[in-house]
């Protein structure tokens, strides 16, 4: 045993709980009362008082350490009990000693492993037999000898049941912690995946813009008069920078798109395609009503992409979790923000539907956070589920 474990053991042994101290002292007081005043139960503890008063201490006081070292406590107390049986008169029936040993037997069963608990049974059987032999008096019957063993058996069974329930509760608690840990890991993985997806799409947005910039610079260069040397060189530099930027982005996207050889330069989805998205959702079994409020105006490509994906993820959530629900999508153009609302009349959270923790809903939060926006996700008053997002627009 290493120094650290030895120090820990000493600390544990030296610090019994206050409640166990009180229990042990109560049994000491009862035993001393039976020795010096009068018996509480039948004959009490007759014999030389001074010697018995000392011997009841090892037979009761170790109970204070019943949770720290239950088997050792039981062995010491049984040894003290045998000493009392040897020193006192034959006919003994101390109430304090009886219940102290019962508490020790219960403690061994409740706070020890199977092997230690069985050793405790052996100690009680052998110690009890020795005590009966030392205190057997004329007139005692077999029933008198067996009753204490029945009490000890009841205490041992009760202790084992308590231990079983505690271990089961601890196992369930550990499983709950493990499930929570796995859920957190899953959420973190979903967030990482969603951020990687957002990064890929934003790279597409930037790459598409850079590509168009290079194409337009080349077209403008070809339209210039051949004598305009300096403007032609400037536009040529723009073309060259555009190509280099696309090449660098191609290499960067190789990290985000393992296994993909070509950089996709198709235009990203935008809010003008919401009608098509709603039609596809309806064809997939989710009736959707689309409402556009305010005057439509061009918005930054990245923001339009995020808004489109938010609506897409919200409708996917309706399709996956709301059954035959109907959905309403409202996109409102405000002077300094774009407000999005996707509501359905299906079941709210708690009936097979995530309450804001699903992977798609995580993606909605991440896309809103990208633009400094805010999101509210949850049950609607009167039933159903709703996703609200508000994305600030630089004016």
Question: 130-148 b/e with 16+ CB inside 10 Å = b?
Answer: bbbebbeeeeeeeeebeeb
Q: Please, are residues 352 and 358 in contact by the beta-carbon 8 Å criterion?
A: no
Q: What is the pLDDT of residue 91?
A: 87
CB atoms within 10 A of CB 58: 16
Q: What is the pLDDT of residue 42?
A: 77
State the architecture of 271-392 in CATH terms: 2-Layer Sandwich (3.30)
Please state, rounded to an integer, the average pLDDT across all residues of the chain.
84
Question: 25-41 b/e with 16+ CB inside 10 Å = b?
Answer: eebbebbbbbbeeebee
What share of the chain in percent tops pLDDT 90? 50
pLDDT tens-place string over residues 33-90: 999 998 887 788 999 999 999 999 999 999 999 999 999 999 999 999 999 999 999 8
- Grade residue 127 by pLDDT with cuts at 50, 70 and 90: very high
Domain edges within the chain: 3-140, 179-256, 271-392
Q: Please, are residues 324 and 286 in contact by the beta-carbon 8 Å criterion?
A: no
pLDDT tens-place string over residues 291-301: 999 999 989 88
pLDDT at position 278 over 70: yes
Average pLDDT of the segment spanning 303-330: 88
139 vs 385: which has the higher pLDDT: 385
pLDDT at position 258 over 90: no
pTM of the full predicted structure?
Answer: 0.59
Q: How far apart are CA 395 and CA 392, in angstroms?
A: 9
What share of the chain in percent tops pLDDT 70? 84
Q: What is the pLDDT of residue 138?
A: 85
Q: How far apart are CA 62 and CA 70, in angstroms?
A: 9
Query: Radius of gyration (Cα) for the chain, nearest Å?
Result: 40
pLDDT tens-place string over residues 151-174: 999 999 999 999 999 999 999 999
pLDDT tens-place string over residues 327-361: 999 999 999 999 999 999 887 665 545 555 556 78
- Grade residue 262 by pLDDT with cuts at 50, 70 and 90: very low
């Amino acid at each position: 045993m290493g120094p650290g474990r030895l120090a820990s053991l000493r600390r544990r042994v030296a610090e019994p709980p206050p409640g166990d101290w009180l229990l042990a002292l109560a049994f000491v007081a009862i035993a001393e009362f039976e020795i010096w005043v009068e018996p509480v139960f039948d004959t009490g503890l007759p014999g030389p008082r001074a010697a018995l008063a000392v011997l009841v201490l090892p037979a009761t006081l170790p109970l204070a350490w019943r949770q720290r070292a239950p088997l050792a406590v039981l062995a010491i107390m049984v040894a003290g009990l045998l000493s009392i049986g040897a020193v006192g008169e034959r006919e003994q029936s101390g109430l304090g000693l009886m219940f102290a040993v019962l508490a020790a037997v219960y403690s061994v069963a409740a706070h020890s492993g199977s092997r230690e608990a069985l050793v405790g049974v052996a100690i009680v059987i052998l110690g009890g037999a020795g005590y009966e032999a030392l205190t057997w008096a004329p007139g005692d019957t077999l029933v008198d000898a067996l009753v204490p063993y029945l009490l000890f058996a009841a205490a041992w069974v009760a202790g084992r049941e308590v231990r079983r329930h505690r271990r089961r509760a601890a196992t369930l608690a550990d499983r709950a912690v493990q499930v929570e840990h796995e859920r957190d890991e899953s959420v973190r993985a979903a967030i990482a995946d969603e951020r990687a997806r957002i990064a890929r799409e934003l790279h597409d947005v930037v790459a598409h813009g850079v590509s168009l910039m290079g194409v337009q610079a080349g077209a403008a260069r070809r339209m210039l008069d051949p004598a305009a040397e300096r403007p032609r060189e400037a536009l040529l530099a723009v073309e060259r920078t555009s190509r280099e930027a696309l090449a660098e982005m191609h290499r960067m996207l190789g990290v985000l798109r393992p296994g993909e050889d070509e950089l996709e330069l198709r235009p990203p989805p935008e809010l003008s395609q919401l009608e098509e998205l709603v039609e596809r959702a309806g064809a997939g079994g989710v009736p959707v009503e689309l409402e556009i409020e305010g005057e439509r105006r061009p918005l930054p490509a990245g923001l339009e992409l995020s808004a489109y994906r938010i609506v897409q993820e919200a409708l996917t959530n309706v399709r996956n979790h709301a059954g035959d629900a109907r959905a309403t999508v409202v996109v409102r153009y405000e002077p300094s923000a774009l407000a999005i609302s996707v509501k359905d009349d299906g079941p709210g959270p708690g009936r097979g539907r995530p309450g804001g923790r699903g992977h798609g809903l995580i993606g909605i939060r991440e896309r809103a956070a990208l633009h400094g926006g805010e999101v509210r996700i949850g049950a609607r008053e009167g039933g159903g589920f709703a996703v609200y997002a508000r994305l600030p627009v630089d004016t």
